Structures are given as structure tokens and as C-alpha cells.
Amino acid sequence: LNGRGEGVIGVMSGGHQISMNKGSLKALQDHVDGKFGSMKVAFASSADTPFAEKVGRATLKMLEVVPGTTVWDLVVGRDWDGV
């Protein structure tokens, strides 16, 4: 996690690994650190089936930004108060 400890950086879906771009991870880590003030992050997806959407949501709940904080925790939990 960019020298910030160990965490989940890739999730397998069938035979494919899903992971974040290094720049995306860095930006989300900066966001965790409060470097962007009160900015909120949102999701965009190209998932075009209910299964693809389910995989995407599950992945966001496993990929970590910093140890113990997933993408889902940060965006849905912190930025949008669980909405």
C-alpha cells in the first residue's frame, strides 16, 4: 500500500485479478489523509449486468486504501455517511 503497511491490493474474480491503478490508490490515500478538504468521492462503473455490479461492489468492499480501510469504507462510510 505505497509503503503504508500491508493490505488487500488485488481481488480475484474467476481467473482475473481486479486491482486499483497506482495513481488511484495514491489519490485515495491522500483523500484519507484529508489533503482535499471536504471533497467527496463517488463511484462510476461500466458494469452492465446485475452480476457485474455485484462483483464490483464486493471488490470495493475488499480493496484497501490503507490497512483496515477499504475503498467502500472511505467513500460510502466516510464521504457519504453510509448512504
Q: Report, as an integer, the average pLDDT of 37-62.
A: 95
- Answering whether pTM is above 0.95, one says no
The partner residues of 16 in beta bridges, in order of sequence, read: 13
Give the mean pLDDT of the chain.
95
Which helix or strand (DSSP H or E) is residue 13 part of? strand 10-13
3: left (phi over 0), alpha (psi -120 to 50) or beta: left
